[in-house]
């Protein structure tokens, strides 16, 4: 099993290592072996307006979509797990249904319905699309946490005079905070890096980072794409580091 694990880890890590190596190449194309070492391609990232605008847009959309998914998903899960909601399993399946549909289909359907037919602004349509992408992660993770949470904790709060609302905010949410943080991380990373929905819900006044990288790659096959990929890996790693410092990654698995 150890050998298999090492092989699987190598298969997963090798492409990332090659991306890092090619990002420092002095050649004007992505190729191996590299001929020299330079940081010019990293500097070139900040000379591309689409990359800067795309990062800002992707960051904003990911934060809003992840926040909305938590705001709507947590009360929905609480209601489904703590009250006798008719057809609760049906609602669970409904909330998780976006995971069963290819994201490119969701993007095309939203573009046709929201932008073309209803004529809602592209930015709002993009938020809706990414919200649908994020909601299943919240439902799945928070449901698992709520099912493991002892109901007697809430009952103790009621006995000591807390209202159901105060019990939810003061007892329930603190006890599932690790799942909330894990859900937010999953939502943010998947929304920030999403390509299919962002590709369809794009416009001249709105640039998302993944489509911006794809457009650049179609016209310029240079290591700038490798360099920005490395920065995105560092950005994701930094998020994990901050979570580790704040609550500890081990607590997310409890």
**98: how many CB neighbours lie within 10 A of its CB?**
17
Q: Residues 172, 147, 145, CA angle at the centre, nearest 5°?
A: 60
What are the pLDDT digits (tens) for 114-157? Answer: 878 888 888 888 899 899 989 999 998 898 888 888 887 877 88
What are the pLDDT digits (tens) for 170-194? Answer: 888 888 888 898 889 889 988 998 8
Q: Provide the 3-class DSSP secondary structure of residue 35.
A: coil
Q: Provide the 3-class DSSP secondary structure of residue 170.
A: helix
Q: Which residues contact 198 (CB under 8 A, 6 or more apart)?
A: 58, 107, 126, 130, 208, 210, 211
Average confidence score pLDDT of the chain: 84
Q: Provide the 3-class DSSP secondary structure of residue 169.
A: helix
What ranges do the domains of the chain cover?
48-251
Q: Which residues contact 20 (CB under 8 A, 6 or more apart)?
A: 226, 230, 233
**Section 244-254 average pLDDT:** 55
The confidence score (pLDDT) of residue 252 equals 46
CB 235, CB 227: distance < 8 Å: no
The confidence score (pLDDT) of residue 253 equals 46
**Section 13-30 average pLDDT:** 85
**178: how many CB neighbours lie within 10 A of its CB?**
19
Angle between helices 122-148 and 177-192 (to 10 degrees): 150
CB 157, CB 98: distance < 8 Å: no
Nearest 10 degrees: CA dihedral of 153, 158, 159, 160? Answer: 90
3.40.1350.10, 1.10.3720.10, 1.10.287.1080, 3.90.1150.10: CATH of 48-251: 1.10.3720.10
Structure tokens at 83: 């009250």
* Alpha helices (runs of H) in the chain, residue ranges in sequence order: 2-22, 40-45, 49-82, 88-96, 103-110, 122-148, 151-159, 164-167, 173-175, 177-192, 196-200, 209-219, 224-246
What are the pLDDT digits (tens) for 206-246? Answer: 788 888 888 888 888 888 889 999 998 888 888 777 776 66
| pTM assigned to the model | 0.85
Burial classification of residue 53, based on how many CB atoms lie within 10 Å of its CB (0-12 exposed, 13-18 middle, 19 or more buried): middle
Residue (of 203, 76, 193) closest to 141 by Cα position:
76
């Amino acid at each position: 099993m150890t050998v298999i694990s090492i092989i699987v880890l190598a298969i997963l890590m090798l492409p990332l290592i090659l991306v890092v190596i090619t990002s420092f190449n002095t050649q004007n194309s992505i190729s191996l072996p590299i001929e020299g070492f330079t940081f010019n391609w990293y500097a070139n990232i900040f000379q591309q307006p689409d990359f800067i605008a795309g990062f800002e847009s992707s960051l904003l959309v990911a934060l809003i979509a992840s926040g909305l998914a938590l705001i709507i998903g947590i009360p929905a899960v609480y209601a489904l797990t703590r009250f006798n909601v008719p057809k609760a399993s049906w609602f669970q399946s409904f909330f998780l249904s976006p995971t069963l549909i290819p994201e490119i289909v969701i993007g095309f359907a939203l573009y046709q319905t929201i932008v073309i037919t209803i004529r809602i602004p592209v930015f709002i349509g993009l938020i809706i699309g990414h919200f649908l992408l994020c909601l299943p992660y919240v439902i799945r993770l928070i449901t698992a946490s709520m099912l493991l949470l002892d109901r007697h904790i809430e009952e103790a709060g009621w006995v000591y005079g807390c209202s159901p609302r105060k019990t939810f905010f003061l007892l329930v949410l603190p006890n599932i905070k690790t799942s909330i943080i894990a859900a937010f991380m999953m939502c943010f990373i998947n929304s920030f890096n999403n390509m299919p929905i962002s590709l369809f819900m794009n416009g001249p006044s709105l640039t998302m980072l993944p489509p911006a990288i794809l457009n650049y790659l179609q016209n310029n096959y240079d290591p700038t794409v490798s360099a920005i990929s490395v920065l995105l890996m560092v950005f994701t790693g930094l998020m994990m580091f901050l979570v580790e410092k704040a609550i500890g990654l081990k607590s997310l698995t409890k």
